[in-house]
Amino acid sequence: MKIKIINVLLALVASLSVQAEIKNIPNGIVDASGYEAYQNYLKESSNKAFVVSANGAWGWSSKQFDTKFSILNAIEKCESKNKGKCDVIDVNGHLTTDTYETVGFLEKPSVSEDDIQYFPASIQEIHKANNYKIIYLASRGNKAYATSKSGSIGWVAQRTSVDDAKKIAIKLCEKFNADKSNPCEVVDVNGEIKSAKINFADVLLNPRMVYPDMTAQLNFYVDMGVYKSYIKMMGHKALAVATTGYRHMLSMMTTSDYAKQEVLKICSENAGEKCNLVLLDEFIVKSKLLEDDGKPKLWLGKYVVDLTAAPHLESVKHTLPFFTFTEDEVTVTVKGKVVVRAGYFQRERLLRIFYKGKTKTGTFSEDFGILLLNDKNRSRYIKVDY
């Protein structure tokens, strides 16, 4: 009789425990995965929130530096699964029916049309967009950029005329065009887009662009790894860089304007110089680094082989090449004849020369008196008066 009473008591306790547990399941959790997620959420310590949608999607977040950011994070997770509205049902372990104002977090940035970087719509890969932005747009003289539906590109700069630039760009593009039924077309002439244009955010946020095995493409400001990290950041966010390469990014800001203000302030303080805004929320803003900064163009002039570093060449110095930099191009002269005429990109001490589809890089000394080429011989040139 005693054993039977104990069994009845155990069954009653188990029943009450189940009923108590059922009462603790918030409205809106409709399946086992949501329930399991909620139980895991309850184990978290602080600054946490759990949200659900009408059709059962859920999301939660914890350990943010403020509860409101956990709420925002949870909402974004939930709505990324549901593509609809999600509501907060629990904050810091307490069920709630309160309405949480998130308009300030989710507002679009107040970016003007002039601040948004646009690209030809045919550019759909981030490395091509980077090449277009950093190399092509920075090149001088008459230039043209062509693309095809198969993904081939061709571009040229420093031509005698626009028509000449367009013809050569088409020719270079067709050389790599795998689909001859869809010929290449010119999409940019002298930096002006001639076809439909897209915001670079469309390229940046395209899932195809964030495969882990994608080669990081340096775009002079931030590489692909930084883009990947930035994409994952929640809330209003911004990234700024200095000409030295120092960068700083912030996320979970209450508004885009506040994100912009704070990232520029912190970046400039840490870098010891003015920083420039590169990313704001999902936008890539036009770079101020490519604009004329008003500094003396100390790299302009003539560079010859440094015979103090290569004394064995003294007897043949009249046959050695020398570089001449103007604002529009760089030339290489041998025995009084110009053998190379090419476009180049210079920023701070970095040099890139573009010739026949290849890139040669080099570094200037701090006073621009020396040029070191990044070739196998580490060729050293010194600046001389004409």
What CA–CA distances, in Å, run from 110 to 233, 238, 259? Answer: 19, 13, 11
pLDDT at 380: 93
DSSP letter string over 147-197? E-TTS-EEEEEEESSHHHHHHHHHHHHHHT-S-TTS--EEEEETTEE-S-E
Give the whole-angstrom CA distance, residue 246 versus residue 271: 6
> pLDDT at position 103, please?
43
Cα–Cα distance for residue pair 50/89, rounded to 1 Å: 6
Decide if 343 contacts 326 (C-beta within 8 A): no
pLDDT of residue 203: 59
DSSP string, 305-364: E-TTT-GGGGGGGGGS-EEEE-SS-EEEEETTEEEEEEEEEEETTEEEEEETTEEEEEEE
One digit per residue, the tens of pLDDT, for the chain of length 386 reads 555 555 544 454 444 444 444 445 667 777 778 888 888 899 888 888 898 887 788 888 887 656 777 787 788 788 777 666 788 888 888 887 765 544 444 455 555 666 667 788 887 776 677 678 767 887 888 999 999 888 888 998 888 899 999 999 999 999 888 888 889 999 999 989 988 887 765 655 443 333 222 222 234 345 556 766 787 777 788 888 776 667 888 888 777 888 888 999 999 898 888 887 877 776 666 544 444 456 788 899 999 999 988 888 889 988 999 999 987 778 999 999 998 887 777 777 888 787 665 678 889 998 999 999 988 778 899 999 86
- Assign domain 301-384 to a CATH class: mainly beta
Within the chain, all domains assigned CATH 2.40.128 are found at: 301-384
| Structure tokens, 153 | 């590109």
